[in-house]
Amino acid sequence: MVPSSQSRQNRFQTRALKDLWHNASDRLQKVLPVESVSRLVSEWFDISDDRIAEILAQVRAQLPTTEALLVGKPQAGKSSLVRGMTGVCEEIIGQGFRPHTQNTERYNYPSDDLPLLVFTDTVGLGDVNQDAQAIASELLGDLQAETTRARVLILTVKINDFATDTLQQIARQIRKQHPEIPCLLAITNLHELYPADVENHPTYPPNYEEVDRAVQALQESFSGWCDRSVLVDFTLEEDGYTPVFYGLETLRDTLADLLPEAEARAIYQLLDKEASQELSHLYRDVARRYILPFSIAAATVAAVPLPFATMPVLTALQVSMVGLLGKLYRQSITRSQAGGVVSAIAGGFLAQLVGRELVKFVPGFGSAIAASWAAAYTWALGEGACVYFGDLMGGKKPDPAKIQSAMRSAFDEAKERFK
């Protein structure tokens, strides 16, 4: 078949544009001195507050955000579930929760601006019917608001607690009005029913008569209202149980089964073993639990197949990440100062940034490669920021060579992770 003139023209324009960007990138790397590159990067990060708000709104609209509605009595393990799913220590979670309504609190992870996970936690739930009705009414009022978020209701029950009438009442009301929202029964504190001579977690799942009997009874109590159940036991390091997050992989897989595809992929990445492994440095460990969701968000944005159209969006996202990391390292910085930090440590990666955008011209898989590179670059930038802020916190002047080395190593490793 003979190509139409319009088809030939489109191919010619695409080839010409591609050649233009290749020539421009070559000249950019050969002609611009380091100072000019750094200045150019700084200009990319110089965005007005109004523009930043607009960009963040666009990012939020594209993120595969999941809202987990946590309902259960005090000490039933709700905060432990948040800790297990985010890797963030209990103190940080406590600071992050904010009153939402009279009986609920909300925690946005990793940040209020760009949440990938939103936890809504019921507080003060007892066995009084009036309390249950008030909590159910507030949750139902929340659920009436239109949202693009995927939602999941997680009921947390201690394995040895059989006074669950109030919780069942709330579950019934929510499921009757919102049958489209999946419900997960999380049975916690398994070790409380281990045999007396057992001092650690067995191979998952636990196979003890007392545990099996209690689990079966709780499953029967919530049959008809819960889609799935999962056994978890999230403890603290000082409790002496290994692993600390017992049943985390099963929780991840179960949530992935209940959630839409995009949100399921995000959950899998957030709970990836390689990213959540225990590290010797507390600050770096916690920082990586923030860097990871920002990297996922960057991949989501970069998948848009429009070269350079997403650069301001990614810029604002990365500035937000660096600002958050600065606070973690006890460095109070404004958004504009965070942008300055990014431009200072990212100059050596200008070629990768340009290359990532140019690869979008490759038909078919270009955007997929761009998404992978955007995630890897964001991860590397976060690692470089940790080195930068770590030096400042230690009273040392940041070493550009050490920062660049850390970023190169992190970038190469992250490219494999985010393929």
- What angle (nearest 5°) sits at the alpha carbon of residue 348, between those of residues 346 and 350? 80
Strands 66-72 and 150-158: parallel
- 236 CB-near residues (< 8 Å, 6+ apart): 90, 244
pLDDT exceeds cutoff 80 at 414: yes
What is the mean pLDDT of the segment spanning 350-366? Answer: 48
pTM above 0.85, yes or no: no
* DSSP H or E run through 272: none
| Amino acid identity at 273 | K
Comparing 89 with 108, the larger pLDDT belongs to 108
Residues 117, 50: Cα–Cα separation, whole Å: 25
pLDDT exceeds cutoff 80 at 272: no
> pLDDT, tens digit, for every residue of 140-168?
888 887 788 899 999 999 999 988 988 99
pLDDT exceeds cutoff 50 at 382: yes
Lowest mean pLDDT among 66-75, 102-111, 332-341, 356-365: 356-365
Comparing 291 with 231, the larger pLDDT belongs to 231
**Nearest of 373, 383, 353 to residue 415 by alpha carbon:** 373
pLDDT at 202: 96
DSSP string, 155-174: EEEETT----HHHHHHHHHH
Residues 25, 253: Cα–Cα separation, whole Å: 43
Buried b (16+ CB within 10 A) or exposed e, 219-249: eebbeebbeebbbbbbbeeeeebeebbbbbe
Residues 175, 400: Cα–Cα separation, whole Å: 55
Q: Which position has the token pair 């200045």?
A: 39
pLDDT at 93: 76
Lowest mean pLDDT among 29-43, 72-86, 110-124, 236-250: 29-43
pLDDT at 357: 47
Binned at pLDDT 50, 70 and 90, residue 348 comes out as: low
Question: What is the biggest distance separating any 2 CA atoms in the chain, rounded to whole angstroms?
Answer: 82
pLDDT exceeds cutoff 70 at 44: no
Residues 326, 342: Cα–Cα separation, whole Å: 11
The rounded radius of gyration (Å) of the Cα atoms in the chain is 24
Tokens describing residue 96? 């992050």
| Amino acid identity at 374 | A
pLDDT at 220: 95
Comparing 3 with 382, the larger pLDDT belongs to 382
Mean pLDDT is highest, among 108-112, 177-181, 360-364, 372-376, for: 177-181
Omega before residue 202 within 30° of 0, cis: no
